Homo-oligomer: A and B are copies of this chain.
Amino acid sequence: MSEIYRASTTAPVNIAVIKYWGKRDPKLNLPTNSSLSVTLSQSDLRTHTTASCSPSYPSEDALLLNGQAQDVSGARTQACFRELRALRQTLEASDSSLPKLASYPLRIVSENNFPTAAGLASSAAGFAALVRAIANLYELPSSPTDLSRIARQGSGSACRSLFGGYVGWEQGAATDGSDSVAFQVAPASYWPSMRALILVVSAAKKGVSSTTGMQTTVATSSLFPSRASETVPRRMAEMQKAIQEKDFETFGKVTMMDSNSFHATCLDTYPPIFYLNDVSRAAIKVVEVINEAAGRIVAAYTFDAGPNAVVYYLEENEKLVAGLFKAALGDKDGWKGARGDKVESNADALQKAEKDAGVAVGLLQEGVSRVILTGVGDGPVKTEESLIDGKGEPVKST
């Protein structure tokens, strides 16, 4: 029986504080503006991926995600496979003793530790894990920066999930995308007290896909060009400085303004794209009330292409922020476990908030289906835990 080669990794989700929206090259996923995100802890949210190859596998590459066979014939997945194989071929060409892995069919098994129904952008973690796992399998000497260039072609924001902590994605200028790569602004350990509370909003279904949506925005929004050319470049600089200085007030204000700016360009699209709903707006209102009560910015909302709110805050303000949400939403799923147990429910703050924002609190109680408590975390981690057994068969994960 032929040998089965295997390598595994986990990779994180990231949530942008300066949003990626708009491609200048849809094929290469080259963006119209730079972006910046916080990598979230993999103890709470991660994709676990095992890549394997073997001459004994059927000739078609195959990918199993959460137990479901996926189509790998799409241009994006193919681009990742092609680029990684090319790097492996270079290695093999320079050292003839290496097994010819690049020529073997790939079998990849991937699992998320969070519910797909949560509507979290899982493609970033998914493509980061896929690229990292194959790079491990092929024993490529590529840096995370090099891999970010490949993962970007799978899903734009995936490039940022190759790093931990606070991560930028430089839009770049080259037409071949060679300078459109992710870079680490600061590791998680530099500012480790960053926390994120995700309010998962029950939505009928996702509206416009982000790929379609962003291209329609580029084509039709008259406000979008100034966002891409003026607003974001300024905010990228402000945000990097805020992170360097661990200045949460600026971090929070720019995060909120950039989320609003992104959704404003969606609304300015024709036909308009709406990702925020009344529950999302209620989350904004409650964050505003929390900040007013604190007399400073201690909480910052941001929304991706969907209604879920992500609320960033620092551990030292946990009671003011997560504590109020726990008092309001303590009966929802997600408060159990080490992180949730630590959060002290803040009924007093909730009571005060309800004076100004009673309707908003009620909307959250009606519309939030679960919460996820997490914080800033590290980049992909190699693991020995394999999702494919020694015979090349998928392992049922726990």
A255-283 interface mask toward B, CB cutoff 8 Å, 1 = contact, 0 = none?
Answer: 01100110111011111101001100100
Q: A27 → chain B, closest Cβ, in Å?
A: 28
Q: Is the CB of A267 within 8 A of B263?
A: yes
Q: A392 → chain B, closest Cβ, in Å?
A: 45
**A225: CB under 8 A from chain B?**
yes
Q: Is the CB of A261 within 8 A of B222?
A: yes
Number of copies: 2
Report, as a range, how many residues of chain A touch the other chain: 20 to 34
**A359: CB under 8 A from chain B?**
yes
Q: Quick one: given A272-B284, A274-B281, are A264 and B204 in contact (CB under 8 Å)? A: no
**A227: CB under 8 A from chain B?**
yes
> A265 touches which one: B223, B253, B274, B359 (CB < 8 A)?
B223
Q: Is the CB of B271 within 8 A of A288?
A: yes
Given pairs A253-B270, A264-B264, A277-B281, 13 additional interface contacts (CB within 8 A): A220-B257, A222-B230, A222-B257, A223-B223, A223-B226, A223-B227, A223-B231, A223-B264, A257-B270, A260-B267, A264-B268, A267-B267, A271-B284
A contact set with B: CB distance below 8 Å: 204, 220-223, 225-227, 230-231, 234, 253, 256-257, 260-261, 263-265, 267-272, 274, 277-278, 281, 284, 288, 359
29 A-B pairs in the complex with CB atoms less than 8 angstroms apart: A220-B257, A222-B227, A222-B230, A222-B234, A223-B227, A223-B231, A223-B261, A223-B264, A223-B265, A223-B268, A225-B226, A226-B226, A253-B270, A256-B271, A257-B268, A257-B270, A260-B267, A260-B268, A260-B269, A260-B270, A261-B268, A264-B265, A264-B268, A267-B267, A271-B288, A272-B284, A277-B278, A277-B281, A278-B278
